[in-house]
Each structure stands twice: as structure tokens, then as C-alpha cells.
């Protein structure tokens, strides 16, 4: 049965949840594309997001429930999702498709828990994230501010812990989209109009490129906006700022005392990417302001083990969110992934 329906785990990006994979009509939603192809599709919502806020013992108002970063997402959420998917499907390994933060989680998971290499047959990384040193736009400004305020934030972390970080209201997307679309009555990329207000990058709100967005995608634009700014924790946001300030990817620097409790040392240890031994395929763009090409070419690729990266696919016409919500994502991204998976399955089922 597993050979007939290969399991695929879709893992969402930062300030998003798994709904980003099903926002469009079936022919242009990654989750639907893969399911209609015959794959067994699983969606992971990491802790703190819209569909993962029901802690067994704590409420959302309890700061303890928000004491997490991508460390916990990788070590616990990702591994639990893999185990559950394999249990339900019956296969021995699955295919990981990560977007943005979802790519980072796969790297951290395999670096820290290398036994999961055997449970992931291949990873397809959409806009792969590394140290995020070379982000642009407001993303870079946000991380710069975080690092400049590092001494103050260190005291804050020790005194007040972590909290919910984000903003989500159903009316937000509809209101903003009506405002934008009423103002844009001529052909213009939405990225130019919102470049100063985008929280991800100057192209973050560009689900379709070189088209009249307000005419063609008017019905979808409120949907995209209403699913942005999904909650995470303040610690997780600070962890991103930490990545932007260091030459290597480290575990979260909570405090000297907390670091001793967690890691047995005052400073957080780095992740050992040489433990990653799963086939990797990169899908990326030079026009992505959130995950810069310098990070991929000069850091991620050199830090992977020899022979691990099996393919890189550049799409210069795409921006950061296009890899999940573009209307032509089937032809450009997911049909390619389907063909690669079928090659793996042909060999596995012989």
C-alpha cells in the first residue's frame, strides 16, 4: 500500500500554518496537487500556530506554554509528525516538503536526531533557510533591531520568559485587500505597492507575478492575507535574530542558567549539519528577499555533506511566498517533485 501511496509531509513557513498549502483551488494548491496525484499527504502545524494551541496542561495565557523555538519544533513536532505519518501509511520512510521555516526544521531535526535520516527518503526544500544573514527589507531591519537590543532582551527573557508573538484577525485580510485593490486600478505588481509594509520581504504579498492581481486574484487575496501573521513565540522570533547575528546555526540562547539546564554548558551548542544524510533538493529564487541566494550558495550548500544535495532548481521569477501559493506552482515546482518521487518509488517498489 505504501508503494501505491507514498507518504508526503508538508511543513509550513514562519508566521504561517499548514493552510498555506491549501489556499488556492485544487489545481494550484500543493496539498491538493499531491493528493490528486495519488500521494498520501500529511500537513504539519507546529506548536503555537492556529491549529496547534491546545496544550494538554496549560492555556495560551500561560507564558510557560510559549517557551519554545524552532529547537522544540524540530526535536519534537517534526519527529512526532513523521512517526505518526509512517504509522498511518505503513511505509518505512516519507518525503519531506518544507517551505521557509519548514526547511530549517528539517535541517535542525536531522542534525540533532540523525536517526531520522532513515525515516526521510528525500527532502524538497522550498526557499531553504540558513543563517539568514543576508535578508533584505523589513525582515533585515527587524533582526537588526533584535540584535542591537540583545542585552535588554536577555534580561527580558530571564524575567518574563516567552509569550505569543503575532497578529491574526479574520477581518484584516479582507479590509487590507479592499483598500489595496481599490487603489490599484492599473497594472502594477503588488510587491511594489506594499514594499514598505510587508513583514516578510518586499515581495511577500506577490502570489502571482506579472498579472493584474486585483482582477485575476481578487477572490484569493483576502484569503492569503488572512492566513499571514500566524502566531509563534517571542523566543522563536528571537531565535531567528540569533541566527542572523552568528556565523553558525546555534541552539537557542535562553540564558546562562537555562543553557546549563538544557545543554550542560553556558553557551548554546551549534547544530552539526554533517549529520544530515538524506537526499536534498533545493528550490529557490534570487528574487527572494527572505532567504538570500548568498546563504544558499555560500553557506547551506558548503555545509551539507558530500553528495547529499541531489538537485537545485532556481526560479528567478518567484518571490518567497510564490513557492507555496503561486497559481503556476504545479507546473514550476510540484510536477517536478512528483516526477522525482516517482523515480524513488519505482526503485523502492521493485
Q: What is the full per-residue pLDDT of the chain (350 aa) written as tens digits?
A: 555 799 999 999 988 899 999 988 999 999 999 999 999 999 999 998 888 778 888 877 787 888 899 999 999 999 999 999 999 999 999 999 999 999 999 999 999 999 999 999 999 999 998 877 666 666 666 666 666 666 666 666 655 556 676 655 554 545 554 554 444 443 334 334 333 333 333 344 443 333 333 433 556 667 777 776 788 888 888 888 888 788 789 999 988 989 999 999 999 999 999 999 999 999 999 888 778 788 888 889 999 988 999 999 999 888 888 899 888 899 999 999 999 999 999 876 54
CB atoms within 10 A of CB 28: 20
- For the record, the C-alpha cell of 221 comes out as 487575496
Position 200 scores a pLDDT of 34
Active site residue 182: no
Q: How far is CA 219 from the centre of its chain?
A: 25
Q: In a 10 Å sphere around its CB, with 0-12 CB exposed, 13-18 middle and 19+ buried, how is residue 186 labelled? A: exposed
Active site residue 274: no
Rounded Cα distance, 44 and 160, in Å = 29
Rounded Cα distance, 275 and 112, in Å = 8
- Pick the closest to residue 285 from 245, 315, 262 (CA basis): 315
Give the active site residue among 29, 288, 303, 322.
288
* Domain residue spans of the chain: 7-165+271-348, 167-229
- For the record, the C-alpha cell of 74 comes out as 524540530
Active site residue 328: no
Position 79 scores a pLDDT of 98
Nearest 5°: the CA angle 234, 21, 29 is 160
- The strand pairing partners of 9, in sequence order, are 42, 96
- The strand pairing partners of 165, in sequence order, are 232
CATH topology of domain 7-165+271-348: Rossmann fold (3.40.50)
- Pick the closest to residue 291 from 160, 139, 122, 167 (CA basis): 139
Rounded Cα distance, 250 and 239, in Å = 9
Give the active site residue among 19, 28, 65, 100.
100
Q: Is residue 265 helix, strand or coil? A: coil
Cβ–Cβ under 8 Å, residues 326 and 209: yes
Position 176 scores a pLDDT of 52
115 HSE (CA, 13 A, CB side): 4
Position 82 scores a pLDDT of 99
Please provide the DSSP assignment of 179-242 as one string. Answer: HHHHH--SS--HHHHTTTT-SS-TTTT-SSSSS-HHHHSTTTHHHHHHTSS--EEHHHHHHHHH
- The strand pairing partners of 7, in sequence order, are 40
Question: If phi over 0 gives left and psi between -120 and 50 gives alpha, with beta otherwise, what is residue 103?
Answer: alpha
Edge-first strand order for the sheet with 94-99 is 40-44, 7-11, 94-99, 120-126, 279-284, 309-314
Cβ–Cβ under 8 Å, residues 106 and 96: yes
Rounded Cα distance, 251 and 108, in Å = 9
* Beta-sheet pairing, 309-314 with 279-284: parallel
Give the active site residue among 99, 227, 251, 320.
320
Amino acid at each position: 500500500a505504501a508503494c501505491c501511496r507514498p507518504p508526503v509531509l508538508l511543513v509550513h513557513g514562519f508566521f504561517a500554518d499548514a493552510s498555506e498549502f491549501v489556499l488556492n483551488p485544487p489545481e494550484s494548491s500543493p496539498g491538493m496537487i499531491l493528493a490528486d496525484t495519488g500521494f498520501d499527504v500529511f500537513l504539519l502545524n507546529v506548536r503555537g500556530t492556529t491549529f496547534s494551541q491546545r496544550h494538554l496542561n496549560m492555556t495560551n495565557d500561560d507564558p510557560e506554554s510559549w517557551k519554545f523555538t524552532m529547537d522544540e519544533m524540530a526535536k519534537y513536532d517534526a519527529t512526532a509528525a513523521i512517526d505518526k505519518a509512517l504509522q498511518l501509511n505503513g511505509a518505512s520512510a516519507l518525503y519531506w516538503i518544507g517551505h521557509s521555516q519548514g526547511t530549517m526544521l528539517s535541517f535542525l531535526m536531522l542534525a540533532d536526531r540523525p536517526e531520522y535520516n532513515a525515516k526521510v527518503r528525500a527532502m524538497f526544500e522550498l526557499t531553504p533557510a540558513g543563517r539568514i544573514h543576508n535578508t533584505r527589507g523589513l525582515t533585515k531591519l527587524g533582526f537588526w533591531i533584535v540584535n542591537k537590543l540583545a542585552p535588554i532582551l536577555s534580561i527580558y527573557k530571564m524575567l518574563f520568559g516567552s509569550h505569543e508573538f503575532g497578529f491574526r484577525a479574520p477581518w484584516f485580510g479582507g479590509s487590507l485587500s479592499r483598500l489595496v485593490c481599490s487603489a490599484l486600478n492599473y497594472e502594477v505588481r503588488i510587491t511594489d505597492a506594499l514594499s514598505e509594509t510587508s513583514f516578510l520581504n518586499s515581495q511577500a504579498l506577490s502570489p502571482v507575478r506579472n498579472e493584474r492581481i486585483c482582477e485575476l486574484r481578487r477572490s484569493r487575496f483576502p484569503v492569503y492575507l488572512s492566513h499571514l501573521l500566524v502566531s509563534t513565540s517571542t523566543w522563536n522570533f528571537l531565535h531567528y535574530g540569533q541566527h542572523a547575528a552568528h556565523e553558525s546555526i546555534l541552539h537557542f540562547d535562553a540564558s546562562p542558567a537555562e543553557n546549563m539546564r538544557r545543554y550542560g554548558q553556558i553557551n548554546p551548542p551549534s547544530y552539526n549539519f554533517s549529520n544530515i544524510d538524506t537526499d536534498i533538493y533545493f528550490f529557490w529564487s534570487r528574487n527572494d528577499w527572505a532567504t538570500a541566494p548568498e546563504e544558499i550558495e555560500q553557506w547551506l550548500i558548503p555545509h551539507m555533506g558530500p553528495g547529499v544535495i541531489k538537485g537545485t532548481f532556481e526560479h528567478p521569477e518567484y518571490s518567497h511566498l510564490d513557492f507555496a501559493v503561486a497559481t503556476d506552482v504545479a507546473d514550476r515546482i510540484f510536477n517536478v517533485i512528483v516526477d522525482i518521487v516517482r523515480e524513488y518509488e519505482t526503485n523502492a517498489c521493485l
